[in-house]
Structure formats: structure tokens, C-alpha cells
Amino acid sequence: MNYQHQAIKLFEEKDYLFFLLQPDLTPDIISALKSLEQDGTVVCTWSFNQDYPLEGQLTTKGQLFRDYLKNNEW
């Protein structure tokens, strides 16, 4: 499973997350979240120096991607 799929899997049960409660965020998943944000899949609020996401929400595109992964990959 690639890192973007792992990042979306964080949202498996919720459309909104407070990332300070997510201890398993690796640099690769953080990078994947930035990539997903650039393509309009998630929207994140970042720490002051942009190195750690504080909160995130799936867009409609992200919800569709998550649902696809739930039905076909996970």
C-alpha cells in the first residue's frame, strides 16, 4: 500500500481528524498528506513551520477516494 493510501486510511472512519491524537504519523505519511492536499483530496491546517499537520478534513474527492479504497483495496 502506498503512502497516500496509508494517509487516507487515517480517515477510514471519520471525515475530520485532529492529528495531535495520531501518534503514527511518519514523515512519509506527512509528505503524502501534503501531496493529497495539493490535488484537492484533503484540506489540512499545518503547524507554524509547515512540518506537522494539526487537523485535516476530507474533501468530497477525498471521501470518494476513501470509499473506493474501502470497497476495493482494504
How much is the pLDDT for 1?
58
Which CATH number belongs to the domain containing residue 66 in this structure?
Answer: 1.10.10.10
For 7-62, the pLDDT digits (tens) are 999 999 999 999 887 777 899 999 999 999 999 999 999 998 878 999 999 999 99
User: What is the span of the domain harbouring residue 25?
Assistant: 3-72
Taking the C-alpha atoms of residue 34 and residue 30, their distance in angstroms, rounded to an integer, is 6
How much is the pLDDT for 37?
96
SS3 breakdown of the chain: % helix, strand, coil, rounded to 5? 45, 20, 35
pTM for the whole structure: 0.87
SS3 assignment, position 42? strand
Largest CA distance in the chain: 37
- The DSSP secondary-structure symbol of 19 reads G
What total number of domains does the chain contain?
1
How much is the pLDDT for 21?
73
How much is the pLDDT for 63?
97
